[in-house]
Amino acid sequence: MSKEGKKPFYKKWWFWVIIIIVVIGAAAGAGGGSDDKQTADNSTKEKVKTTTAQPKEETKKEEPKKETEKTHKIGDTVKVGDMVYRVNKISTADQVGPSVLPTKANGKFLIVDLTLKNNGDKAVTVDSSFFKLKRGDKTYEADSEASMSANQDEDGNITNSFFLQELNPDSEMSGKVVFDVAPDVASAKDLQLQVQTGLFGTQTDVISLHK
């Protein structure tokens, strides 16, 4: 009786069982490593995203403090260009001028008594249009006829007319500028007188007429 030859080990069933177990184990290990790596990558990305998403605190810049504008008032000397102004006083009236031939107001006359001087090198033509009455956004023009009448004496003599009058360098003049306004405007406490350099008013300033 002849002996049966032995089967090679790679043909035995248990060999293939071991091979299959090893292959499955290797595949599982490789897959797990990949998942771990991906999880680590995702975690790193989330940290970067979170860091970059946080807004930087803005540094608040302090706004420069605005300089308080000087408010000129009655009695102050106010220089505008080559002209110097000073309001001496204000008053109200229903009429101005000589008693024999007065000029009557449509509303109420606001009379501004002032002095001005020419510090320039040339003569300046002074007119009542140099002056404007301001109240908020409203502007009131001077009454040239009433201004001339207010500067007229009882004998009819006019010292300073404030009507296209020449004022030489280093000279000064005083007189009254008159505004014909509504009674409530004449008595208002927020009035300002705007003064200027000349007929064209390239430079201006304001004087508060508060009593």
pLDDT tens string, the chain, 211 residues long: the values are 444 555 565 556 666 677 777 767 666 665 555 555 555 555 555 554 555 545 555 555 555 544 445 789 999 999 999 999 999 999 999 999 998 889 999 999 999 999 999 999 999 999 998 899 999 999 999 999 999 999 999 888 888 888 999 999 999 999 999 999 999 999 999 999 999 887 666 789 999 998 6
Asked if 171 and 99 sit in the same domain, the reply is yes
Return the structure tokens found at 127: 């007119």
Q: Which residue do the tokens 């008693």 mark?
A: 99
Calpha distance 33→2 (Å, rounded): 54
Please name the amino acid found at residue 184. D
Does residue 155 fall inside a structural domain?
A: yes
Q: Which residue do the tokens 């350099």 mark?
A: 197
Asked if 115 and 41 sit in the same domain, the reply is no
CA dihedral for 24, 25, 26, 29, sign (positive or negative): positive
Closest CA to 117 of 74, 159, 77, 157: 77
pTM, whole model, 2 decimals?
0.66
Asked if 113 and 41 sit in the same domain, the reply is no
Asked if 92 and 129 sit in the same domain, the reply is yes
Return the structure tokens found at 203: 């430079």
Asked if 138 and 186 sit in the same domain, the reply is yes
Asked if 141 and 182 sit in the same domain, the reply is yes
Does residue 122 fall inside a structural domain?
A: yes
Asked if 160 and 198 sit in the same domain, the reply is yes
Does residue 110 fall inside a structural domain?
A: yes
Range of the domain at 15: 11-49
Asked if 86 and 19 sit in the same domain, the reply is no
Does residue 97 fall inside a structural domain?
A: yes
CATH number at residue 151: 2.60.40.4170
Total count of domains within the chain: 2
Please name the amino acid found at residue 118. N
Asked if 160 and 109 sit in the same domain, the reply is yes
Does residue 70 fall inside a structural domain?
A: no
Asked if 28 and 106 sit in the same domain, the reply is no
Asked if 118 and 174 sit in the same domain, the reply is yes
Does residue 60 fall inside a structural domain?
A: no
Does residue 2 fall inside a structural domain?
A: no
Please name the amino acid found at residue 17. V
Asked if 85 and 45 sit in the same domain, the reply is no
Does residue 17 fall inside a structural domain?
A: yes
